[in-house]
Amino acid sequence: MATNLTLWIGTRKGAFALRADAQRRRWRLGPPQFLGHTIQHIVQDPRAPRQLLLAAKTGHLGPTVYRSADRGRHWQEVRIPPAFAKSAEGQAARAVERVFWLTPGHASESGSWYAGTAPAGLFRSEDGGESWAPVAGLHEHPSFPQWAPGWKTPDGELLHSILVDPRDARHLYIGISVGGVFESTDGGSSWAPLNEGVAADFLPDPNVAFGHDPHCVTLHPLQPDRLYQQNHCGIYRLDRPERRWQRIGRAMPARVGDIGFPIVVHPRDPNTAWVLPMDGTSVWPRTSVDGRPAVYQTRNAGRSWQRRDRGLPRGQAWLTVLRQAMCTDAAATPGLYFGTTGGEVWASTNAGESWRCIAQRLPEIYSVTAAQG
């Protein structure tokens, strides 16, 4: 049973708190906060649960971060938001357009956070998000201009899926869309690509070390050598110390395919994960396949997948769910939640078996995150 569960919904027009009762049956939608601001990601600090960070931008204004010390009742803008170093004369001048992703640092490093941006940049805070500094080991890596060439994709070049190994604060993974997955074992001082086995069938040479398009990468908190990836070109699993990803999406039904944005792992079972397939054919509609939304679940690390669509619309439902808009909670039978770009939030309190809509008519949803306690 979950208690005091809040889903934080980041939308194109503000932040919303959706609070559950103890049984997760009734949900109460709070009033908009930051109405009119673009809210990309809202993340609770598991080391200090009263604290949250929120990544914001406004149509006209530059990107910033807000901080709450009282579970999201009040927010204050941080003192120094993420910003690239001033470029030397003649060098490409990167400026943060959007703070896209927030990840709390290692449990042993209280107050540490990471932020990923568009265009791709990695930033670290050591004071609870009050001030941020670029992770120079990435930005000044001689290959960084090739790893993150600054492709002007519609939503920008994104750095996301910042993963901290719970056993080792210095062991990090990041995803860059488009760029690939990269790993550091020295706290971000040096980085190397980690993309073997991943398809990049949009490139002239698909057998490249980087240039891939990970949409969402996650590791299992209890088995941190187990990574899952929803990529532009399929679903993958990697069990370290192996370096070659296995395309577990091949076990998905061919008519559904293995394209999507989010991938979410069960909080306690490393063999269980969920994806939300989308239409990645022709011009990439990125909507539910055939207008029939479904979550797919694996319980054996991707050897097989089961369709989970009870309660979801049976047809004519052209949903899009972005990479940050699906999450679980920490309950014994985990809840699973997703938000759509059409402003609906869907919930399953039985690990995906059945679904119901718990909020609708919200602005375009960018992120759904669970906050406990």
Partner 1 sequence: MTQVHIASPLRDYTHGASPVRAEGATLAQLLADLDRRYPGIRFRMIDEQQRIRPHIRIFVATREARDLAQPVAAREPVHLLCALSGG
CB-nearer residue toward partner 1: 95 or 107: 95
Q: Give the residue, chosen from 4, 23, 58, 300, that forms a contact with partner 1 under the rule CB under 8 A.
A: 58
| Residue 288: CB minimum distance to partner 1, A | 24
For 310-317, the CB contacts below 8 A with 24+ separation are 310/353, 310/354, 310/355, 311/348, 311/354, 311/355, 311/356, 312/346, 312/355, 315/290, 315/291, 316/291, 317/288, 317/291, 317/292, 317/293
Of residues 81 and 211, the one with the C-beta less far from partner 1 = 81
Nearer to partner 1, 225 or 364 (CB): 364
> What is the Cα–Cα distance from 174 to 160, expressed in whole angstroms?
6
**Site size with partner 1, rule: CB under 8 A:** 18
153 binds partner 1 (CB under 8 A): no
Q: How many residues does the chain have?
A: 373
Q: Whole-angstrom Cα distance, residue 283 to residue 330?
A: 37
300 near partner 1, judged by CB under 8 A:
no
Q: Which of 53, 83, 345, 358 binds partner 1 (CB under 8 A)?
A: 83
Tell me the window of 38-46, 77-85, 275-283, 337-345 that interacts with partner 1 (CB under 8 A).
Answer: 77-85
Residue placing its CB nearer to partner 1 in the complex, 94 or 308 = 94
Decide if 330 contacts 46 (C-beta within 8 A): no
In the complex, minimum distance from the CB of residue 64 to partner 1, in angstroms, rounded to a whole number: 7
A 10 A CB-CB count for 290 gives: 14
Instruction: Decide: 358 and 313 in contact? Cβ < 8 Å.
Output: no
Nearer to partner 1, 80 or 251 (CB): 80
Residue 120 CB coordination number (10 Å) = 27
Closest to partner 1 by CB, 66 or 173? 66
Query: Which of 62, 145, 206, 253 forms a contact with partner 1 (CB under 8 A)?
Result: 62
Decide: helix, strand or coil at residue 228: strand
Contact pattern from residue 91 through residue 110 relative to partner 1, giving x for each residue in contact according to CB under 8 A and a dash for the rest = --xxxx--------------
Q: Does 85 bind partner 1 (CB under 8 A)?
A: yes
From the CB of 346, what's the least distance to partner 1, in Å? 25
Stretch that binds partner 1, among 19-27, 59-67, 277-285, 303-311 (CB under 8 A): 59-67
Should residue 84 be labelled a site residue for partner 1 when binding is judged by CB under 8 A?
A: yes
Q: What angle do CA 231, 293, 217 make, to 5 degrees?
A: 20
Nearest to 47 by CA among 129, 151, 120, 147: 129
Q: How far is CA 324 from CA 83, 219, 337, in A?
A: 22, 15, 11
Pick one of 1, 35, 61, 222: the residue that binds partner 1 (CB under 8 A): 61
The tokens for 173 are 């993974």
Binding stretches for partner 1 (CB under 8 A): 58-62, 64, 77, 79, 81, 83-87, 93-96
